[in-house]
Structure 1
């Protein structure tokens, strides 16, 4: 009876496909800001929004700008986010300078600058901030996305039901967030050392959507394992954009395929969204009345996220609605040159990701036909399953001093 209860609790059958949380046990719901304005496309805008909030001296006016929710009001008392030195007093009486914006991931293809103040954010997931550093990677499972994504930055912008699996349970790349005993079992099976990063790369290449989230097949041979991990490494290199300790130089397209600006973009951050069109013959992306970028791979133009073209979403985030009100309407007065550079980098990332994801999908489909896999029965016999309950909870991390509400500190 004990075995049956273990399987039910772990939701792991004896077959060859494993749920993602049997491999990476600890996960938390994706961070959520709860309001648009603390996330900006440039750091100057984030600071300007804070300044505008505090310029409202009357509480009613400040509250209207803040956009209160059930989780946060001007009188909510919360602790600092780990690693941040922001105020912890009530926002209703806040008068200090803006917190330094931090770069975060926003969905699979973009980045934003976030005001890292716990008082502004409905569900920022402090347990993720506690383990975030240059050695950390976050694997994001968004049920609406085609595959898993990985980032070295704290991941915001994921959809409802998304979960984040840190690769490590402690800062400094310590204590892999893997089922205890899994690395040793794989090393014994393959006759070669297996690192946490190898497991993450394999998951990126082969995890597939399923009714229970994402399913994972662990291959029975080292040759298949090494080939899949190499393909996943290619996806990781694109996704990390050169950030973090686990990233090399940002991947680039070959010289003749790199997009560049052929005709200058005549854009403003406020006004009508520019019309976008694509000419397949010239592989040219037309932006507005005059802007032209080329060559742009068809896959970059075709890329969609949440049912919308990625490029359309990118421009919509940077061209404010003239009728917009409140802090979210505050933005730069002119089109920053950095945004054009970011656009060219995005076009490259979309092209490279599409190519590498296609190779991964083909590889995963071929692997499922082979039938030689390390499944639930094998892992249970090796003592890897069921995963201990403690492995599904965050580790105790005491590296950072965290100020509590109203300037208090916890006594340990």
Structure 2
């Protein structure tokens, strides 16, 4: 997948939250503050101040006037993928984002799938997949984002030119970009036993020469993609891929709220004897130990998820980051059940995914791809396509002439 984009650089923490109503409240406080106070609340950086003049984000309706002059109404918060599995809300406004990566926003639509490189530490997935636009943030720095398509409407797959045709010839079957992404999801879901340190943001993806191995990997990968996207892409497992549905555990294993969460829980723990996840005085059960132990990018997925939904102890009083909720909303418990389901089902796939990764081959080598003209990839395939679906408002309400 030659074309990739660095992760977003927000420049300030208050533009992200687990709760959209918190973002609206923060915006209102910023917009109502006097200009000098507004500048301090904003948190200026080398890339952005309240006097920065920047265009709208593609497909978004935020004002393009300077924040020092007229902030305008709060931009409608949008869901983004944070790390491999967290879904947070973001203010989609270039005036408050240091590097918003507009090229990603131009290709984000209902058909797009984003692959984001994860840190190599631990036994978690090497690549995360999402229907939401990812911010690229992870436990250590940011990761590069590889969209499946270079243009909206599932047009022009972001695949090395000639690769799909070559794979089809070797495997004796038609190979689509969606099949290739499923294979990538399966083969990068668990690290290889002999995995070597990778260079930068490159993630090696071995390609099979055996049609049976390919078919098995694509089937497993479609389930991985379905789970990573929380049911938004690739449809239920064993389906035709045309329908989608939220992942759910079978009856008897489905986590339920046994004791309701009240107040604002400040601790998350696990009781292995009762298979209970404890949030303050709340309790969910049954919760598989594999979900509690699931790690990605060297950090506990559940621990990091919970930390982002509790008050930040480092937030200074009076700042926008310190503005949050005083209790635990019911929606957070529902989101937690969805996350537990995804992590449990992914953990159950580990043996099959590890067997696929450790298979004997045969594998298609780089020399064979070079002989077929697939490698090296042309320079143009590493650059974004020219995309302009609609007029994009420039700074101060102007429109660019292209």
Structure 2 counterpart SS, 1:91:
coil
Q: How does 1:208-219 map to 2 (within 5 A)?
A: 208=191, 210-212=197-199, 213-219=202-208
| TM-align CA RMSD | 1.8
Going from structure 1 to structure 2, the CA distance change for 1:387 and 1:321 (only over 3 Å counts) comes to closer
Query: Does the 8 Å CA contact 1:135/1:245 hold for their aligned counterparts?
Result: no
**Alignment partners' CA distance in 2, 1:244 and 1:211:** 29
Alpha-carbon distance change, 379 to 139 in structure 1, aligned in 2, over 3 angstroms: same
Deviation at 1:390, TM superposition (A): 0.4
Q: Structure 1 residue 128 and structure 2 residue 104: aligned?
A: yes
Superposition pairs for residues 1-400 of structure 1, below 5 Å? 24-59=1-36, 61-144=37-120, 146=124, 147-156=126-135, 157-158=137-138, 159-207=140-188, 208=191, 210-212=197-199, 213-244=202-233, 248-268=244-264, 274-288=266-280, 290-321=281-312, 324-325=316-317, 326-365=319-358, 367=359, 369-370=360-361, 372-400=362-390
Q: Flag the 1:319–1:55 CA change in 2: closer, same or farther, 3 A.
A: same
Tell me, in whole angstroms, the C-alpha distance in 1 between the residues paired with 2:92 and 2:130.
18
Report SS of the residue matched to 1:90.
coil
User: Is the 2:268–2:277 contact (alpha carbons within 8 Å) kept by the matching residues of 1?
Assistant: yes
How far, CA to CA, are the matches of 2:364 and 2:298 in structure 1? 35
**1:31 to 1:58, Cα distance in 2 relative to 1, 3 A:** closer
Displacement of 1:332: 2.6
Q: Which has the higher helix share?
A: 1
Contiguous gaps of at least 5 residues in structure 2? 236-242
Please report the TM-score for the alignment, with normalisation by the length of structure 1.
0.88
Structure 1 position 244, deviation (Å):
4.9
Kept in 2, the 8 Å contact 1:283–1:298? The answer is: yes
Determine helix, strand or coil for the equivalent of 2:224: helix
Report Cα offsets for 1:21-65 as digits up to 9, x if no partner: xxx110011122121111111211111110010111132x11111
1:79 & 1:244 partners in 2: Cα distance?
31
Where 1:241 maps in the other structure, the secondary structure is coil
Distance (Å, rounded) in 2 between the aligned partners of 1:143 and 1:338: 29
Correspondence for 2:240 = none
The one-character-per-residue Cα deviations of 1:91-124 (angstroms, maximum 9, x if unpaired) are: 1112411011111111111111111000111111
Give the SS at the match of 1:139. Answer: strand
Flag structure 1 segments of 5+ consecutive residues without an equivalent: 1-23
Q: Offset at 1:361?
A: 2.0
Cα distance in 2 for residues equivalent to 1:314 and 1:211: 27
- Structure ranking higher on relative contact order (CA contacts 8 Å, 6+ apart): 1
Secondary structure of 1:214's aligned partner: coil
Q: Please give the secondary structure, in 2, of the residue aligned with 1:172.
A: coil
Structure 1 residues 241 and 84: alpha-carbon distance in aligned structure 2, compared to 1, 3 A threshold: same
Cα displacement string for residues 306-333 of structure 1 (whole angstroms, at most 9, x for unaligned residues): 4443222222212214764311121234
> Would the aligned equivalents of 2:8 and 2:101 in 1 still touch at CA under 8 Å?
yes
Aligned residue for 1:224, secondary structure, equals: helix
TM-score, normalised to structure 2's length? 0.90
In 2: Cα distance, 1:72 partner to 1:224 partner: 50
Q: Secondary structure at the match of 1:238?
A: helix
Deviation at 1:408, TM superposition (A): 1.7
Relative to 1, partners in 2 of residues 1:95 and 1:180: Cα closer, same or farther, differing over 3 Å? closer
1:195 deviates by: 0.9
Judging changes above 3 Å, is the alpha-carbon distance between structure 1 residues 84 and 385 closer, same or farther for their aligned structure 2 residues?
Answer: same
Q: In structure 2, do the counterparts of structure 1 residues 25 and 306 end up closer, same or farther at CA, with 3 Å as the change threshold? A: closer
1:235·1:357 contact (CA, 8 Å) conserved in 2?
no
